[in-house]
Structure 1
Amino acid sequence: MTDHPVPADLPEAFYHDLGDGRFESTAATAGPWSPKWQHGGPPSALLGRAMEAHEPRAGFHIARVTVELPRPVPVAELQVSVRTVHASRRVELLEGEISSDGGPVMLARAWRMAAGPLDTPALRVGRPAPPLPGPQAPHTMARAHLDGYISAMEWRFEAGAGFDVPGPGAAWARQRIPLVAGAADTALTRALTLADSSWAVAFELDHHHRLVVNTDVTLALHRPPVGAWLCMRSATAASPGGSGLAVGQMHDETGECGQVMQTLLVNER
């Protein structure tokens, strides 16, 4: 934790809606590795937003989204499209794509399903989240671009923890700006904006001297998150000669609401 200030010129949103599925990306989308490339969270949320708006059905909710990252998403104009792959009385499979300069940069599939009965048991698989800490000075990340996504989110870690403290770990976060200018965020978009940060909350592999990057992110929600603040409790598994797997629990201030999983490519630079 340092005194690095939140930029005074933080954009009003991650994106501006240009109409016809086109969106202008602002500097707030830039990820920690380069100001030219987006963090995976905002474009994942942009796809989730489009999926929610695609032929919505009363009483249905998106329960799982898997986002594939074939190449970096540029901080540039994006085209978003969604189609229905399968639809039945109780479930739908949706497919989405973000393209830039005519080529796909992000792909996603989501299951939208009918809500379960109100007498379904309330079951949980993980530990409770740590309490939401009080206000903290802005957090930084070594060798990272800070004036994009990292600063566009408010982060609160447990005492003594941070991006540069090896995990497992947990952090609470919320957006300082909306996903799309002039539009309300949803429970799904807030969750997706944070989900791709799961393994960064608990860096356990040396991402400075080796290439460590996630190729995908899966968010599975057993209920919609409530409120602006969300907590990620994350840990990483890895094997010699294999790959990495980051697994996180997502919580809101009322309890656990879902899980996040990311496949990690681990290789020499």
Structure 2
Amino acid sequence: MEKTESLPEAFYWPLGDGRYASSSATAGPWTSKAQHAGPPSALLGRALERHASREGFRVARITLELPRPVPVGDLQVTVRTLHSGRRTDLLEGELTSGGKRVLTARAWRVAGSPADTPKLRPVPASPQLPHPQPPHTMAGAHLDGYISAMEWRFEPGTGFDTPGPGTAWARQRIPLVADEDDTPLTRALTVADSSWAVGFELDHRQGLVINTDVTLALHREPVGEWFCMRSATAASPHGSGLALGQLDDEAGDCGRILQTLLIADR
């Protein structure tokens, strides 16, 4: 993880009692006052995987709901167990800011599969990690937050402003929480909300296109810092959009990303 001098120390600083201060690195591409959903998703995922942890269990699926923008400010994290069985846990968590709910999540934590489970990976291998590239831009976007806090490597000749489907590798330049090591789950959640932006296929500048949720499903623990997202979007008149991302790490296929897209006139 290579931090540059202009970046904050981390996305968040712990304040105690489940409270966190947000750094400017959390700011999303649409405004400097609202966070990209990646870092707060990872912050909530971090709390869920730590909650009443059980040996041999892992978070296999987490769905995050985005009822309103997450402000760049102090956040409160709370989690609880909805169900705990012999092989599964259903967990729920939320982030609040100023007493308002800004992000909710439910996650299935399951017992690991047997050692003789076959390796089934029904998708082609991802492209190799490209060589280092100059910083990527996005037309009309706020670049000095999350976009700069991540390192992006697109297929040669492409970027955020290239019509999708799209493919990009990404990794964090700074940790999620100051003075802490990231986990495989938090690293995956930090990039997951970027999936549909990697393959923009709807005009988000002329019309309103925004995701209402993020689902990350992982069939194994990711490895390494780098993630490859191969993303495409489906959409229909009088309907909505659906962005599907194939998620790979440095060892290959590790999961899927699903996002519902609200499409409306501005």
Shift of 1:253: 1.1
Q: Structure 1 counterpart of 2:17, which letter?
A: D
Report SS of the residue matched to 1:24.
Answer: strand
CA distance in 1, matches of 2:188, 2:125: 18
Q: 1:31 aligns with which of 28, 32, 36?
A: 28
Q: Return the TM-score normalized by structure 1.
A: 0.97
Q: Which residue of 1 aligns with 2:127?
A: 130
Gaps of 5+ in 1: 1-5
Q: 2:263 aligns with which of 230, 253, 266?
A: 266
Q: Which residue of 1 aligns with 2:183?
A: 186
1:11 paired with 2:11, answer no
The answer to whether the Cα contact below 8 Å between 1:90 and 1:113 also exists between their aligned partners in 2 is yes
1:54-203 to 2 correspondences below 5 Å: 54-203=51-200
CA offset digits 1:157-203 (Å, max 9, x no partner): 01111000011011000000000000110000000000000000000
The answer to whether the Cα contact below 8 Å between 1:7 and 1:147 also exists between their aligned partners in 2 is no
Q: Structure 1 counterpart of 2:204, which letter?
A: H
Gaps of 5+ in 2: none
Shift of 1:7: 7.0
CA distance in 2, matches of 1:110, 1:163: 30
What percent of counterpart residues are identical?
69
Q: Which residue of 2 aligns with 1:46?
A: 43
Question: Are residues 7 and 185 of structure 1, via their aligned partners in 2, closer, same or farther at CA, if it must alter by over 3 Å?
Answer: closer
1:231 paired with 2:235, answer no
- Number of residue pairs matched? 264
CA distance in 2, matches of 1:223, 1:252: 11
Shift of 1:9: 2.1
CA distance in 2, matches of 1:183, 1:45: 13
Report SS of the residue matched to 1:48.
Answer: helix
CA distance in 1, matches of 2:4, 2:132: 17
1:218-257 to 2 correspondences below 5 Å: 218-257=215-254
CA distance in 1, matches of 2:189, 2:44: 9
CA offset digits 1:203-230 (Å, max 9, x no partner): 0000000000000000000001100011
Shift of 1:137: 0.3
Report SS of the residue matched to 2:59.
Answer: strand
Q: What is the root-mean-square deviation of aligned Cα atoms in Å?
A: 0.9
